[in-house]
Chains A and B, each alone.
Chain A
Amino acid sequence: MIKATLVMLSVLLFGGCSIKDVQPWEKETLAKDTMKNAAGNTLMTKFENHIYFSKEGSKGGGGVAGGGCGCN
């Protein structure tokens, strides 16, 4: 009985830790301009990229392929 209760409790507790994938048709919020790096502000993006590139010692690879709608 105690074992069963523990299993049930752990299922309930850790079930919430599982991360569900965002499906392609659920990307409405992700596709918004505000979700872009520095919310689409070109100057801020350049500034943030400059910090990132300086820290990493490399340039490029900061973008995401596709248009935020799950495209290739």
Chain B
Amino acid sequence: MRSIILTLLLSTLLFGYQQGDTISQNIQDKLSIKEDKIYIIDFFASWCASCEKEIPYISKVHQQVDSRQVEIIGVDVDKNIENAKAFQKELKERNALTFRVVNDPENNIIKAFKPIGMPALFYVKDKKVVDAVFGAVDNIDEVIMADLKRLQK
């Protein structure tokens, strides 16, 4: 039993959150995850061209879904906070970023998730990681809506 717990702990440290893993209280606090609804966590950065391309589509989803059931949280992993703020400001000015963003200049949040590529989307339901999408995906809004339909069943 002890070895199983140790293996699980080590796998989380090495690979980040896997499907079915519960998000730690520390990360829940950082992301303000309080309710038992579906959270979509979008990791992006100003230097990531594919992330910038996807953000307007994710904002479109944000405007379509019921905020009581689904919430989208952006995590900007830019190490330079000024770059992050300028990037977000520019996106907001053209109405391309409508969901709330948590800045992660120390990369503490993303290191807990350890995505294999960026942009990275994690679906969190009942404080557990239930699915993830990595890399640039065409029509990500349609992909998210289909995933949400499946997760809300």
Contact = CB atoms under 8 A, between A and B. Distances in A.
A25 B45 contact: yes
Interface string B35-50: 0000000010101111
Interface in A18-60: 23-28, 31-32
Interface residues of A, number: 15
Nearest to B109: A25
A24 B136 contact: no
**Most chain B CB atoms below 10 A, which of A25, A27, A72:** A25
B71 to A, nearest CB: 22
**Dominant secondary structure of chain B at its interface with chain A:** loop
Given A25-B43, A25-B77, A70-B117, A31 B134 contact: no
Contacts of B110: 25
Given A25-B118, A71-B136, 16 more contacts: A23-B114, A24-B117, A24-B118, A27-B47, A27-B48, A31-B47, A67-B49, A69-B49, A69-B50, A69-B117, A69-B118, A70-B117, A70-B135, A71-B119, A71-B135, A72-B135
27 contacts: A24-B117, A25-B107, A27-B48, A28-B45, A32-B47, A66-B135, A66-B136, A67-B49, A67-B136, A68-B49, A69-B45, A69-B49, A69-B50, A69-B51, A69-B117, A69-B119, A70-B118, A70-B135, A71-B48, A71-B50, A71-B118, A71-B119, A71-B135, A71-B136, A72-B117, A72-B134, A72-B136
Interface of A: 23-28, 31-32, 66-72
